[in-house]
């Protein structure tokens, strides 16, 4: 057995279903060994998307996504995908082929110092120096990626080491990492303090982030909120923790969020932030968040607590474990009336949204109306993947998510993420309807993956909001540079109906509001992959 065989054995032990990637000479021993395994491989068309597919897969399956690419340019192309996963704390193990270890550092063909390059956006990285280290390194890599605050781990694997003999393979059952022991259980005294604050509070708000999804604590949060009638707001990454129409759900916070949810944060006397970073996109002036209120910050990563806002009660641990503890405490308080008050505010948001964002005077398709109707028509457990740009903001504001998931690249804002992520999500849950909504800019960054979807029979539905411009930049230039538009025209874009045809997909075009219902129905009801072009005005703002 060589070290590449050993690596595949490790993946089997970790119950890996898929490896997404792209071969090259330096990773060939690995891709040779995988032929003798049940693990399925997916050849992408560009390495960045291997990470996005793995990310979508990881977010829906709850497992660690695995990527394997070659050295040099292969690894370099992967960088954006790794950084995207890191920003959203998505667990990935990325294996990169590397040149012969004896030649490393001498600038040979397709050599790049990938572990150095990704240093600041991986959770950890390894360079495999000895064949016999493979089992330990893989065991550690999966452990690090999937525990604590999750994230991508890189394993750089020189070709000569891949070919080296491993005399005896044994996968470690347990790990003894002296230096890595993430806190799972929340401090009991701190948990009690939270309970005490809740008992005292008149106007508490739960602010949920992506950490709730990552911890698998969605149901716990929902029932905890309902048990006590606590209103819930969310960050972009926390969308779909609560169903959009849940009576306790007030909306998304931040510049791009709703008035009611931002108001809720202001009016609250107790804010419990759960698995969110309190980052610039969600909290404008974080140091003000503690004025006239008690701030509780629950997160698995102690470094996030106090980074942007100093909490009164920090609580470090896994959200699932902490909410199990909180649910076991006796809390008699009920805040249903306060929640009703906020829901009233949120109704006003909704009225405004319909009056300003959805109403079509000249029969044109309004993007907010489109994402609303599309999401309403989707199956209850459907997966809605929003890309980046205006389409993301419209999706955040307009999408109605029931028991499904809302996925997007929240931290890094990587254009084109939605196509790969949708393919990965669909592979993780073939029975669930999966829809990507993107702009014509993002679409053209990654639509080569339509071939991947076709090759592996992954039926994805992609709706492109087409305005022939880079809408969010154009909007910014409209407001900030008084319509001095610079480098935002997408003239020269391809005819999407022909793209659909070229990739063997059905095609739906929507141009007039009165055809919306029918077009959405065709889009969602068609078998196989569907590409939809939804023509909107470039003057729409998000």
CA distance 23 to 320: 38
The full DSSP string for 112-180 is --HHHHTGGGSSEEEE--SGGGHHHHHHHHHHHHHSSS--EEEEEEEHHHHHSB-SS----SS---TT-
Shortest reach from residue 303's CB to other proteins, in Å: 4
CA distance 110 to 206: 49
Give the other-Cβ count within 10 Å of 178's Cβ: 5
Among 301, 318, 449, 513, binds other proteins (CB under 8 A): 301
Residue 171 · residue 10 · CB < 8 Å: yes
Q: Is 486 in the site for other proteins (CB under 8 A)?
A: no
Among 105, 306, 494, 504, binds other proteins (CB under 8 A): 306
| Among 296, 276, 88, 302, residue whose Cα is nearest residue 184 | 302
The full DSSP string for 43-57 is E-SSHHHHHHHHHHH
Q: Is 120 in the site for other proteins (CB under 8 A)?
A: yes
In sequence order, the β-bridge partners of residue 379 are: none
Give the other-Cβ count within 10 Å of 356's Cβ: 10
Q: Is 123 in the site for other proteins (CB under 8 A)?
A: yes
Give the other-Cβ count within 10 Å of 82's Cβ: 31
Among 180, 476, 479, 481, binds other proteins (CB under 8 A): 180
In sequence order, the β-bridge partners of residue 66 are: 93
Shortest reach from residue 206's CB to other proteins, in Å: 24
CA distance 406 to 367: 17
Q: In the Cβ-directed half-sphere of 150, how many Cα atoms lie within 13 Å?
A: 27
Shortest reach from residue 326's CB to other proteins, in Å: 24
Q: Is 456 in the site for other proteins (CB under 8 A)?
A: no
Which is closer to other proteins, CB of 285 or CB of 348? 285
Sign for the CA dihedral angle at 233, 238, 242, 246 comes to positive
Which is closer to other proteins, CB of 223 or CB of 255? 255
Shortest reach from residue 174's CB to other proteins, in Å: 17
| Among 97, 78, 109, residue whose Cα is nearest residue 157 | 97
Shortest reach from residue 85's CB to other proteins, in Å: 17
Which is closer to other proteins, CB of 164 or CB of 301? 301
Site for other proteins in 358-397 (CB under 8 A): none
Shortest reach from residue 123's CB to other proteins, in Å: 7
Which is closer to other proteins, CB of 126 or CB of 523? 126
Site string for other proteins, 132-151 (x = CB under 8 A): ------------x-------
Which is closer to other proteins, CB of 42 or CB of 309? 309
CA distance 10 to 4: 10
Site string for other proteins, 261-290 (x = CB under 8 A): -------------------x----xxx---
Q: Is 119 in the site for other proteins (CB under 8 A)?
A: yes
Q: Is 105 in the site for other proteins (CB under 8 A)?
A: no
Q: Is 310 in the site for other proteins (CB under 8 A)?
A: yes
Q: Is 318 in the site for other proteins (CB under 8 A)?
A: no
Shortest reach from residue 125's CB to other proteins, in Å: 8
Q: Is 413 in the site for other proteins (CB under 8 A)?
A: no
Residue ranges of alpha helices (H) inside 218-366 are 218-228, 259-267, 319-328, 336-352
Binding site for other proteins (CB under 8 A): 115-116, 119-120, 123-124, 127, 129, 144, 177-180, 280, 285-287, 301-303, 306-308, 310
């Amino acid at each position: 057995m060589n070290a590449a065989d050993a690596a595949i054995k490790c993946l089997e032990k970790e119950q890996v279903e898929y490896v997404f990637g792209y071969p090259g000479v330096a990773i060939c021993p690995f891709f040779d060994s995988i032929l003798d395994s049940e693990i399925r491989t997916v050849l992408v068309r560009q390495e960045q998307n291997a990470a996005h597919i793995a990310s979508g897969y990881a977010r829906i399956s709850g497992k660690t996504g695995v990527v394997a690419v070659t050295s040099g340019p292969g690894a370099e192309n992967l960088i954006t995908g790794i950084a995207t996963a890191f920003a959203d704390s998505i667990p990935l193990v990325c294996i990169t082929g590397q040149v012969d270890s004896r030649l490393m550092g001498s600038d040979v063909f397709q050599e790049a110092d990938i572990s150095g390059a990704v240093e600041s956006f991986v959770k950890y990285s390894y360079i495999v120096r000895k064949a016999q280290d493979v089992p330990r390194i893989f065991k550690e890599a999966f452990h690090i990626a999937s525990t604590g605050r999750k994230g991508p781990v890189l394993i750089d694997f020189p070709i000569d080491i891949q070919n080296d003999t491993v005399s005896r393979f044994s996968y470690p059952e347990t790990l003894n990492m002296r230096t890595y022991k993430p806190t799972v259980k929340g401090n009991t005294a701190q948990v009690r303090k939270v309970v005490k604050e809740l008992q005292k509070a008149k106007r508490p708000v739960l602010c949920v982030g992506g950490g709730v999804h990552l911890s698998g604590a969605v149901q716990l949060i929902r029932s905890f909120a309902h048990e006590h009638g606590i209103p819930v707001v969310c960050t972009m990454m926390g969308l779909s923790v609560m169903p959009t129409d849940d009576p306790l759900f007030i909306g998304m916070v931040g510049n791009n969020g709703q008035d009611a949810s931002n108001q809720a944060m202001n009016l609250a006397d107790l804010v419990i932030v759960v698995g969110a970073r309190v980052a610039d996109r969600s909290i404008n002036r974080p140091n003000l968040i503690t004025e006239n209120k008690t701030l509780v910050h629950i997160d698995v990563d102690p470094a996030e607590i106090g980074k942007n806002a100093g909490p009164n009660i920090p609580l470090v641990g896994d959200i699932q474990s902490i909410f199990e503890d909180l649910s076991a405490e006796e809390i008699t308080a009920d805040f249903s009336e306060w929640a009703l008050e906020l829901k009233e505010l949120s109704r006003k948001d909704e009225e405004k949204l319909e009056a300003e964002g959805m109403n079509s005077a000249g029969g044109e398709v309004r993007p907010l109306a489109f994402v609303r109707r599309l999401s309403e028509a989707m199956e209850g457990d459907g997966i809605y993947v929003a890309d980046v740009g205006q389409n993301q903001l419209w999706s955040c504001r307009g999408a109605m998510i029931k028991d499904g998931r809302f996925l997007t690249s929240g931290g890094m804002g990587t254009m084109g993420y939605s196509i790969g992520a949708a393919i990965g999500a669909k592979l993780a849950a073939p029975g669930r309807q999966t829809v990507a909504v993107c702009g014509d800019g993002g679409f053209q960054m990654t639509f080569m993956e339509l071939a991947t979807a076709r090759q592996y029979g992954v039926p994805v539905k992609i709706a492109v909001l087409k305005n022939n411009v880079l809408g969010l930049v154009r909007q910014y230039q409209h407001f900030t540079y008084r319509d001095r538009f610079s480098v935002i025209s997408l003239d020269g874009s391809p005819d999407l109906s022909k793209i659909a045809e070229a990739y063997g997909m059905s095609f739906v075009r929507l141009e007039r509001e009165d055809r919306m219902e029918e077009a959405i129905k065709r889009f969602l009801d068609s078998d196989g992959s569907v590409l939809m072009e939804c023509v909107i005005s470039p003057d729409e703002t998000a």
